[in-house]
Structure 1
């Protein structure tokens, strides 16, 4: 009888200790990213070898390393500092990318309060995007695989959006929906509902994200409860805008650059059409 009375007390004690441990839980995860780059060039002015070289150079630009610093409810997502190597020009082609994410960009997420703050640098102008977090509609499965020393479970999220292309500098929106399936692999062994970039909302840290083959983010290293306590603070500098406002600004900048490209082409420049997945 005495042992039966003691058992609930022991269970309660472990529950309290577990909750206390979760509140002080911290970690730093390193992710490597890669993107698929599709390029269509005017075959009359650009050879196939030049096209392959340009695609390889652009893909290398998107092979980056990021760190996710997290505790139970908060995180920051930053690109690791790296020395950039100037790439030699390919013919007379110049490529500009809007919204590629600069090395000084910082994304802060607070999953408990369902909000985020992001500092974004667009051609030297700093924006502070503040808005609520949208939780992905994840579909959980029983499929598992190992990533490092962790057992991960598969979850998927299907997105629908209108397909947008630029033709002769003008935006064209298709009547058909573009369907993309996001696949995430998370581990309940690290009990935080967070992940790389703006992904979150699963019962464990997300270690891999595959954006329908367009972009891949894979965790390569995790340090749990490091000796030096991590500091997680939201960015505060920049012009304050909502997510929708920033998307409009980005879209407008992309249209301006496409029209500028079209004007350069009409003046005798090379023709180039670029699609970057993701």
Structure 2
């Protein structure tokens, strides 16, 4: 009798798993993301501590965010949860507009088509950045941990870093900020007349992900995908993405639509547009190394 119960239970679990995989289900996952950034040397000796604190407080809202992932078996949208701005925040002005261009807008992924689309607004102009999904060579481990009610398995990979990835930018020469594995990869070299001569971006970072086969979809937060289950946690360089809530087959399903608005460009083309605009602003406002002549200085 005991053997019958065990066999029946196993068959029932298998049936449920097959049923979930077969049906056109949809889910929603909420992720809290946080990026740590060293502000100790920001601005050098020319900036007051009060001004540094103001910038750090403004940066906090950009480095700690909540995202919503709506997904089905092959498609997903990943959007930042809208929140009211604190009184006196002022929207960040030119600084806030610049940072939002680095961090990106709503994102769409299609696993079957190996497609990723990212909405971007840059100085009032709308772009649609189109690329292939990154091919991540995951190493699956046997280590497990519990995230909420889900059993998750560990996976690691080494990921190339986009040269304009704001979350991985650091002041040049800060060897103490390098993490294990980064010393094996050279950092991006900049020419002396480059607009980013004071910062560098590692060419590669080690990524650790935790995924659950209990939700059989090959997607996760941001660009991450390609594992045999929903990714619930990601640690990449200085950024941690942690799933805090999951709703399967919500009563009010969100539409998962492919974005179409904006000038379509590749990631490389969009990066060049940003670099050209930043160089133009440095000339206009007379930044260090600028040749703006009569341009005013802030």
- TM-score bracket, normalised by the shorter chain, equals 0.7 to 0.9
Indicate the SS of the match to 1:72.
Answer: coil
Q: Quote the offset at 1:217 in angstroms.
A: 1.2
Residues 1:250 and 2:252 aligned together: no
C-alpha deviations, 1:22-63, integer Å up to 9, x for none? Answer: 341210111111112233344433344543453243123321
Q: CA deviation at 1:242?
A: 2.0
Q: How does 1:1-278 map to 2 (within 5 A)?
A: 18=18, 21-39=21-39, 40-48=41-49, 50-85=51-86, 86-87=88-89, 96-97=98-99, 99-101=101-103, 105-160=105-160, 162-164=187-189, 170-172=195-197, 178-212=203-237, 214-260=238-284, 262-263=286-287, 269=297
Q: CA deviation at 1:19?
A: 5.6
Task: Specify the SS of the correspondent of 1:251.
Answer: helix
Q: TM-score, normalized by length of structure 2?
A: 0.72
Equivalent residue of 1:137, what SS?
coil
Contact map agreement 1:169 1:262 (CA 8 A) in 2: no
- CA drift of 1:137 comes to 1.3
**Greater per-residue helix proportion:** 2
Q: CA RMSD in A?
A: 3.5
- How many angstroms apart in 1 are the aligned matches of 2:199 and 2:83? 39
TM-score of the superposed pair, with normalisation by structure 1: 0.76
Distance 1:122 1:94 in 2: 12
Contact residue 285 and residue 296 of structure 2 kept, 8 A: no
Q: How many residues in Structure 1 have an aligned counterpart in Structure 2?
A: 254
**C-alpha distance in 1 between matches for 2:213 and 2:140:** 12
Q: Which has the higher strand share?
A: 1
Structure 1 runs not aligned, ≥5 long: 1-10, 271-278
Contiguous gaps of at least 5 residues in structure 2: 1-10, 162-186
Find the aligned partners of 1:175 and 1:205 in 2 and give their Cα distance.
Answer: 32
Residue 97 of structure 1 aligns to a residue in which SS? helix
What SS is found at the alignment partner of 2:70?
strand
Question: Which protein has greater RCO, CA pairs closer than 8 Å, 6+ apart?
Answer: 1
In the alignment, the residues of structure 2 paired with residue 176 and residue 226 of structure 1 have an alpha-carbon distance, to the nearest angstrom, of 40
Greater shift, 196-205 or 78-87, is seen at: 78-87
Alpha-carbon separation, structure 1, partners of 2:131 and 2:122? 18
Partners of 2:152 and 2:112 in 1: CA distance:
23
| Alpha-carbon distance change, 115 to 47 in structure 1, aligned in 2, over 3 angstroms | same
CA distance in 2 between partners of 1:159 and 1:20 (Å): 31
